[in-house]
Chain A
Amino acid sequence: MTIYSLYIYDRHCTCVYYQDWHRTKLPKPAAEGGILPAVSHQVYPQPQQDTISTSDPISTYSSPRNTLSSSSGVVVAVNEEQRTTTPQPPQAQSGLSFDEEAKLVYGVVLSLRNMIKKLSGKDEQFVNYKTSTYKLHLYETLSGYKFVMLSDPNADSLRFVLRQIYSGPFLEYVVRNPLVKMDSKERGIDNEYFRTSTDRMIRGLSVFQ
């Protein structure tokens, strides 16, 4: 069992944060202007490839932090911006660029949620759904933030984890961080502390292996 990825959406339906762990197919970087800055530098549109990376197109897409998620390595320090000198094993890439992917995830969540509300007519909540290959978990705050997590289909409900992220790292490093502009429609909420502590929390879970 494992956890694949985490998306956070704000009230304006835009993706403000993205992180992934055991994803087999990495997302293609978003198209220029497709996503806000500071969502995840891993999928942020790359500047024009410089001479080094043109020879090895894969290295353009593998962020320094991706080395952490390689299953073989030992994590020494997470805060370090590790520059990988050794070429990474070629990783499969999904055919979808990240901005498209983020929109799709949001679309699924929103339509399902609305459908469920229409069917029941009450303030019923959509918690998760499962396919043969993954399970999608949703936690929505009253203020309109949506935390979406994709995990192994056999995982239990991870709603509590999403809530923990909200009341833990999110509160501490985003809400209480005056340097993070919330609700700005201009920037995401990515920052080193938030990413590290979320990462630590997820890695500490028993479902994460």
Chain B
Amino acid sequence: MATTSKQYKVIGEELWKGRAEKTNAELFALTYGALVVQLIQDYEDYEEVNKQLEKMGYNIGTRLIEDFLARSNIGRCVDFRETGEVVAKVGFKSFLNITPSVTHGGLPIAASPTRSSTASPAPTIPGATFTLTLDENPLAEFVELPEEALEGGLWFSNILCGVLRGALEMVRILTALCLSKFTYHSSDSNAGHGYVYLRCVARGRNDRDQSHPCQVSRGRSSRRR
């Protein structure tokens, strides 16, 4: 069962090539931008916009996973590490034609993951988190956020968070959203360059539906330009 990340890469590329309907990336970016602007106008509150984006993403994710499973023919992941690889190499590749880099990390035991943004302290559960770094973000192709939106705390690509949460939840990896200021600071050094960090943290199991192992994970994303 040791499907290496290289194999996943191949699967992802084949899926992307085999996909019949593709949307123009520019059209996609512009449509998404228009959507976010509309949300901002409607809600006039960045917090609320973030929430709505996440909710939209969740609804997309719950359906997208079926598409993913039907096409990719991938079996159940052994651990959360593998989940991270599949999400990045197959998921993102086949739907958005990008491959975020994955960084696996541990989760500090009995600490709220929200705060543990600095280098991990003492004991950790290995392989309980992964961070996806999107070097190029198709959602933010032509986007330049005004200072006001940045200060207001708009997470432009928050929809990705929701998609991931929804999709993982459907395969019984429960996900909850965790938003921290962490990635804001770290992306400061890359000002002028669009970065998105998605952080997923495995937290527990969901045995609600049936007897399948699954983890709770937390995703987070923010972007800055």
- Interface on A for B, CB 8 Å cutoff? 11-12, 114, 123, 141-145, 166-167, 170-171, 175-176, 182-183
Q: Tell me whether B70 and A171 are in contact (CB under 8 A).
A: yes
Chain A residue, CB-CB nearest to B75: A142
Q: Which of A123, A141, A175 contacts B63 (CB 8 A)?
A: A175
CA distance A183 to B66 in the complex (A): 12
The verdict on B19 contacting chain A, using a C-beta distance below 8 Å, is: no
Given A12-B209, A144-B209, A183-B62, residue A175 in contact with residue B67 (CB < 8 A): yes
- What 16 additional pairs, Cβ within 8 angstroms, besides A144-B210, A145-B66? A142-B69, A142-B76, A142-B171, A143-B66, A143-B69, A143-B170, A144-B172, A167-B71, A170-B70, A171-B67, A175-B66, A175-B67, A176-B63, A176-B67, A182-B62, A183-B62
A28 to B63 CA separation, bound complex (whole angstroms):
33
A9-B31 Cα distance, complex, nearest whole Å: 36
Inter-chain contact total with CB atoms closer than 8 Å: 40
Interface centre among A11, A142, A175, A176 (most CB of B within 10 A): A142
Chain B min CB distance to A79 (Å): 25
Interface residue SS majority, chain B? helix
A11–B172 Cα gap in the complex (Å)? 10
With contacts A11-B209, A123-B76, A143-B171 taken as known, whether A166 is within 8 angstroms of B70 at the C-beta atoms is yes
Q: Least Cβ distance of A183 to chain B in Å?
A: 7
B70 touches A182 (CB 8 A): no
B65 within 8 A of A: yes
Task: Name the interface residues of B63-100: CB closer than 8 Å to any CB of A.
Answer: 63, 65-67, 69-71, 75-76
Query: For residue A168, which residue of chain B has the nearest CB?
Result: B70
Q: Is the interface of A mostly helix, strand, loop or mixed?
A: loop
Bound-state Cα–Cα, A167 to B68, Å: 10
Which of B63, B65, B67, B76 has its CB near the most chain A CB atoms (within 10 A)? Answer: B63
Residues of B within 8 A of A123 (CB): 76
Would B66 and A141 count as touching, CB distance under 8 A?
Answer: yes
Chain B: minimal CB distance from A101 (Å) = 22
In the complex, residue of chain A having the shortest beta-carbon distance to the beta carbon of B77: A142
Q: Mark B94-123, 1 if CB is under 8 A from A, else 0.
A: 000000000000000000000000000000
Nearest A-chain residue to B209, judged by Cβ: A11
Q: Chain B nearest CB: distance from A147 CB in Å?
A: 12
Q: Chain B residues near A175 (CB, 8 Å)?
A: 63, 66-67
- A141 surroundings in chain B (CB, below 8 A): 66, 69-70
Chain A residues, CB < 8 A from B67: 171, 175-176
Q: State A143–B211 Cα separation when bound (angstroms).
A: 13
Q: A123-B76, A166-B70, A167-B71 are in contact. Are A182 and B209 (CB under 8 A)?
A: no
Q: Which residues of B contact A12 (CB under 8 A)?
A: 209
Q: How would residues 148 to 181 of chain B score, 1 for a CB under 8 Å from any chain A CB and 0 otherwise?
A: 0000000000000000000000111000000000
Cα distance A12–B67 when bound, in Å? 20
Residue of B nearest to A167 (CB): B70
Q: Nearest Cβ in chain A — how far from B141, in angstroms?
A: 25
Given A11-B209, A144-B172, do A171 and B62 touch, yes or no (CB 8 Å)? Answer: no
- For B66, list chain A residues within 8 Å (CB): 141, 143, 145, 170-171, 175
Q: How far is the CA of A142 from the CA of B209 in the complex (A)?
A: 12
Min C-beta distance of B174 to chain A, whole Å: 13
